[in-house]
Structure 1
Amino acid sequence: MAATTPAASILLTGAGSGIGLNVLAQLLEKHPATRVQVLTLFPTPELTQLEEKYGKSRLNTVYGDACDTEVVAKAVKDTITNYGTMTHLISSIGTMLPVQTIRKVSMAEIKKIFDVNFLSVFDLVQRSLPHLSAWGERKPTVIIVTSGVDFDVLYRGWSGYCTSKAALTRFIHLLAHEEPGVDVYGVLPLVTKSPMVDKIFNGEYDDVMLPEEREKFNTWAKQGKIEPPEYIADAVVKAAIGQIVPESKEVERNDCGALFIGSLYQK
């Protein structure tokens, strides 16, 4: 008889809303053997509902700031305490704030966006690596949601978001280079409906973004190109449970060994 693949034990950050919440819901609903330890900032009604539905045998939560190293350390420790192992790490944390010009943005705000989008993920990965273990015959897996704004996307006021995501994507490259025993996926969503994007449509950045930049989002909305978070969450889940593997057509491998899913997956 073939060996039975053990249950996946996943540490997931940023599961309170958006892509992360949808990743969590899909993992729990579609893959009964999966166990998830969540680290997220605060309870949301949707997350609380999942906690009540699945119970602590499959879902445990640490609430706190992922920029707080003690909170991250607790989440990693609790994953091992609750499930005995960590086979997957999935990072879905991120913020677009502040949206402000280089001339006007404060250094405190720039440091905060780097704390959230880059340094918190660095800390999370560094603390998790010693605990990641193989999942049956599969390598341990790290999946990090980054952004396609990391290279050539230009919007006025987005310097903090674009540069912090560029740092994160470069980190994914280097992580894959240094850790060949781990499957490292970077996830590049297209324009996804989220609280961040809603703020653009609500006009909250109209005094910063150029009118033609703002109009791009209106055009994409009319064309149906603002995608629900379920789309990219589905790609993350498929990579986590082995339906997408490094050899899959949905994956673009770069020279350092990093595996990227996103625009290619959705074409």
Structure 2
Amino acid sequence: MSNNESHYPTSAPAQTQIQQPGEQESMYPQPEIIKENYQGSHKLKGKIALISGGDSGIGRSVAVLFAREGADVAIIYLEEQQDAEITRQLVENEGQRCLLLEGDLSQPELAATCVEQTLQCFGKINILINNAGVQYQQSDIGEISHGQLEKTFKTNFFSMFYLTQKVLPHLQEGDSIINTTSITSYRGHDELIDYASTKGAITTFTRSLSTNLLKQKKGIRVNAVAPGPIWTPLIPSSFDAQTVAEFGTSTPMGRMGQPSEVAPAYLFLACDGASYISGQVIHVNGGEIING
């Protein structure tokens, strides 16, 4: 392992949380949110980003990184008020503004409310990050209830669809949409069948919407990031303690990833440096080769 990687833990101690999407402040060790020595260079100066699931994990890391690059952010979260307040403080510590939007995005009407409040606060939206999600470990498809299946699709996919519909009319040429898909979209997962299915839908949604908007010549790019095993509150809140203790150790790098290692992919796709990229997926998964 290189010197740059040596401070990252290989795995986490066995632990669980009783409710999804989980609380970051209850995790041990704490996830790394932004690389300590990272220097911003105004890549997103003057931009406004709306981030679902922005209170913790990957969403928090994206919010703080975007702020360091000059963006103001609005974050949508379910009910984790403490996590959301910490994220707001971290964004404000970067000299940027942060709007907190609480609610369940699986309810269609919330998307419109969040977009309206963001526009009232900031006047525009340039970047949409669709990141909210849940997952439930089940070893047998017969154990996946109608309620679980419906909740997983409503939270992971329907909410993304609703929010994109409401944001899109306010985006301009050069703006972008970035969706969180997953390594499970490409290789599946035997104990996350419904979750992996939603991520497959997200990958296809990304490609289809990108093609649609390019055909309309709107100049709006649509891409996705496919994380592998990243240490976020969703992990201890959705897996049993033994699975958590082994989380990420089977990757080629032999360790779990940190949110700080995923967020730069979103930054790249959001900034002008990715102006010729649309309909693509960046894989941040510890070295696993995924052909897709």
The TM-score range, normalised by the shorter chain, is 0.7 to 0.9
The answer for the alignment partner of 1:78 in structure 2 is 117
The 3 A distance-change label for structure 1 pair 230 and 264 is closer
Q: Counterparts of 1:171-190 in structure 2 under 5 Å?
A: 171-180=205-214, 181-190=219-228
Residue 90 (structure 1) aligned to one of 129, 152, 163: 129
User: Which blocks of at least 5 consecutive residues in structure 1 are unaligned?
Assistant: 206-213, 248-252
Shift of 1:153: 2.6
Cα deviation, 1:179-213, whole Å, max 9, x if unaligned, reads: 112111111112111233335461379xxxxxxxx
TM-score, normalised with respect to structure 1: 0.79
**CA-atom RMSD in angstroms:** 3.0
Separation of aligned partners in 1, 2:213 and 2:178? 13
Give the match's secondary structure for 1:262: strand
The answer for the alignment partner of 2:262 in structure 1 is 232
Give the match's secondary structure for 1:16: coil
Separation of aligned partners in 2, 1:104 and 1:160? 11
Matched letter for residue 175 of structure 2: P
Q: Does 1:159 align with 2:180?
A: no
Separation of aligned partners in 1, 2:248 and 2:59? 25
Give the match's secondary structure for 1:103: helix
Separation of aligned partners in 2, 1:186 and 1:259? 6
The 3 A distance-change label for structure 1 pair 97 and 241 is same
Shift of 1:164: 1.1
C-alpha contact (below 8 Å) 1:101/1:158 kept by paired residues: no
Residue 260 (structure 1) aligned to one of 281, 285, 289: 281
The 3 A distance-change label for structure 1 pair 49 and 152 is closer
The 3 A distance-change label for structure 1 pair 147 and 218 is closer
Give the match's secondary structure for 1:185: strand
Give the match's secondary structure for 1:38: strand
TM-score, normalised with respect to structure 2: 0.73
The 3 A distance-change label for structure 1 pair 218 and 124 is closer
Q: Report which stretch shifted further, 57-66 or 97-106.
A: 97-106
The answer for the alignment partner of 2:153 in structure 1 is 114
Cα deviation, 1:37-77, whole Å, max 9, x if unaligned, reads: 11111244343134346299711111011112222111111
Q: Percent identity?
A: 24
Separation of aligned partners in 2, 1:20 and 1:185? 16
User: Which blocks of at least 5 consecutive residues in structure 2 are unaligned?
Assistant: 1-43
Give the match's secondary structure for 2:223: strand
Residue 140 (structure 2) aligned to one of 101, 113, 116: 101
